[in-house]
């Protein structure tokens, strides 16, 4: 039953995983951007230091170095502004992507709440059907040693056992409806299906002339 219930949660889980992937993607992109900025500034500083060493011997070296330092400062400011814009763009892109995913998650949450009763009822019925089919596969084996009317009666009795088990499972699992936002609707759907199974049971009982249906 649990693996069927997980199917209800899965869409939301996928969105949560995707949000984490988006955050990791932009975290890496911002880190790479920061590394590129540091690398570019360091290269620029190294270049200006080399130029300063060459001009320091000149009689106007101080003036040139001063201008070079001024230019490097301006250039660093330009670089920082450039990378700041790129960083802000990444922030906006990340925010847009996460907002879309969060809207999707909210839609899943609303859809889940609105359809939880229907989904839960379907899960209960599907699970009980699977168990019923599994038991039915053993029916022929249990009656294989018989022939004629005895075989037919044995098969019908085995079907009755299977249907009773299915009805019992439906009733036992109906309490899961209490975990939905609309337990009444969930129970109604399961009960409607259970009544159909009960009608089927009564028909099999009539077929083998068993009056006491209890």
Extents of the domains making up the chain? 2-207
Supply the pLDDT for residue 35: 92
Q: Is the Cα dihedral 62, 66, 72, 76 positive or negative?
A: positive
Q: At what angle do helices 148-173 and 183-207 cross, to 10 degrees?
A: 170
Average confidence (pLDDT) over 30-45: 88
The beta-strand segments (E) located in the chain are none
Look over the chain and give the mean of its residue pLDDT values, rounded to a whole number. Answer: 80
Structure-model confidence comparison of residues 202 and 44, the more confident one: 202
pLDDT band at 211 (very low <50, low <70, confident <90, very high): very low
Closest listed residue to residue 152, CA positions, set 140, 136, 164: 140
Supply the pLDDT for residue 143: 84
Residue 213 pLDDT more than 50?
no
Supply the pLDDT for residue 65: 61
Residue 104 pLDDT more than 90?
no
pLDDT tens digits along 44-82: 877 766 655 555 455 455 555 666 677 778 888 888 899
Residue 16 pLDDT more than 90?
no
Compute the distance between CA of residue 56 and CA of residue 176 in angstroms, rounded to an integer.
Answer: 84
Compute the distance between CA of residue 51 and CA of residue 174 in angstroms, rounded to an integer.
Answer: 83
Query: Hunting for tokens 């059907």 — which residue is that?
Result: 129
43 burial via Cβ count (<10 Å: 0-12, 13-18, 19+): exposed
pTM of the complete model: 0.46
Compute the distance between CA of residue 87 and CA of residue 31 in angstroms, rounded to an integer.
Answer: 10
Supply the pLDDT for residue 164: 92
pLDDT band at 9 (very low <50, low <70, confident <90, very high): low
pLDDT band at 4 (very low <50, low <70, confident <90, very high): very low
């Amino acid at each position: 039953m649990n693996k069927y219930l997980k199917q209800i949660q899965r869409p939301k889980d996928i969105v949560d995983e995707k949000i984490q992937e988006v955050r990791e993607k932009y975290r890496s992109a911002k880190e790479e951007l920061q590394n590129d900025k540091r690398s570019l500034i360091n290269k620029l500083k190294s270049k200006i230091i080399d130029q300063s060493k060459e001009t320091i011997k000149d009689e106007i070296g101080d003036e040139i170095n001063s201008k070079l330092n001024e230019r490097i400062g301006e250039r660093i400011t330009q670089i920082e502004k450039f990378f700041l814009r790129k960083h802000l763009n990444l922030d906006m892109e990340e925010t847009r992507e996460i907002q879309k995913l969060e809207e999707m998650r909210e839609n899943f949450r609303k859809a889940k709440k609105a359809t939880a009763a229907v989904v839960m009822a379907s899960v209960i019925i599907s699970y009980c059907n699977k168990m019923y089919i599994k038991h039915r596969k053993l029916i022929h084996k249990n009656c294989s040693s018989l022939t004629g009317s005895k075989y037919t009666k044995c098969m019908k009795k085995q079907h009755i056992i299977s249907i009773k088990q299915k009805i019992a499972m439906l009733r036992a699992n109906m309490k899961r409806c209490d975990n939905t936002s609309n337990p009444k609707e969930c129970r109604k759907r399961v009960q409607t299906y259970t009544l159909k199974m009960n009608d089927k049971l009564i028909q099999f009982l009539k077929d083998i002339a068993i009056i006491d249906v209890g």
